[in-house]
Amino acid sequence: MSADDYKRAAAARALEFIEPGMKLGLGTGSTAAHFVALLGEKVKAGFEVVCVPTSEATAAQARALGIKLTTLDEEPILDVTVDGTDEIDGDLRLIKGGGGALLREKIVAVSSDRLIVIADAEKRVAMLGAFPLPVEVVRFGLASTRQMIEALASDIGCEGPLTLRLKADGQPFVTDNGNVILDCAFGRLPDPEALDDVLRQIPGVVENGLFLGICDTAILAGPDGVEVLQAENLFALDDGLDA
């Protein structure tokens, strides 16, 4: 099976958590797109849900499949959000934002009673940080914000190149919120909470891709099958996780 098959298997398992009438958050990225596609099939067969998309791309996919969309202004509290991730550790801490939708993803996730993360098992890591941390920043004062991130991160031992994310045409990637993204290659992050804290002190930083204490359930699919990890059972499940 390919990584894409595993993503679809995780998405299919997540669908089992969804009940008729639920208000859902729809994530962004290739794994979330599998979930949206499978949900679309159920909706076509008469299943009723209402959904808040985390990006314009997901909104377009859902709309094309006939999935009913709403906004957080109409429905401020959602039942479940299903989203992908770039990395996940043994405490269900995440790095997200590879697809550039981290701000809306985090707003939608924390507006939901439950965040279910779906991924192929390759996304599981012993320690976060091999994937460069996406940080969404406003364009005004970009050089200044970049220097401040470098300085404050360095104070807590996080060092590495910050790269302005570009599109294929060489122009800066602009998020759905009109901001840009600095991909921060700090390497292994022994204390992601400390990094999250310092990034929050910088006015030009809108949000960062660390999702800490937000994920309730992780569904990871790989050669050994589909594994469901629950945040509340972490102590019991730790034995089974890579150290």
| Positions that interact with ligand 5RP (CB under 6 A) | 27-32, 83-86, 96-102, 105
Please report the sign of the dihedral spanned by the C-alpha atoms of residue 163, residue 166, residue 172, residue 177.
Answer: negative
Q: Taking the complex as a whole, how short is the minimal distance between the CB of residue 72 and ligand 5RP, in angstroms?
A: 17
Q: Which of 87, 105, 136, 207 is catalytic?
A: 105
Closest CA to 61 of 23, 31, 106: 31
Catalytic: 105?
yes
DSSP 3-state assignment of 169? coil
Integer Cα distance of 12 and 54 in angstroms: 19
Q: Taking the complex as a whole, how short is the minimal distance between the CB of residue 41 and ligand 5RP, in angstroms?
A: 19
**Which residue, 79 or 136, is less far from ligand 5RP as judged by CB?**
136
Q: Taking the complex as a whole, how short is the minimal distance between the CB of residue 2 and ligand 5RP, in angstroms?
A: 13
**Which residue, 131 or 148, is less far from ligand 5RP as judged by CB?**
131
Closest CA to 109 of 20, 210, 8: 210
Integer Cα distance of 56 and 219 in angstroms: 25
Q: Please give the distance of CA 171 from its chain centroid, rounded to a whole number.
A: 24
**Which residue, 148 or 206, is less far from ligand 5RP as judged by CB?**
206
Catalytic residue set: 105
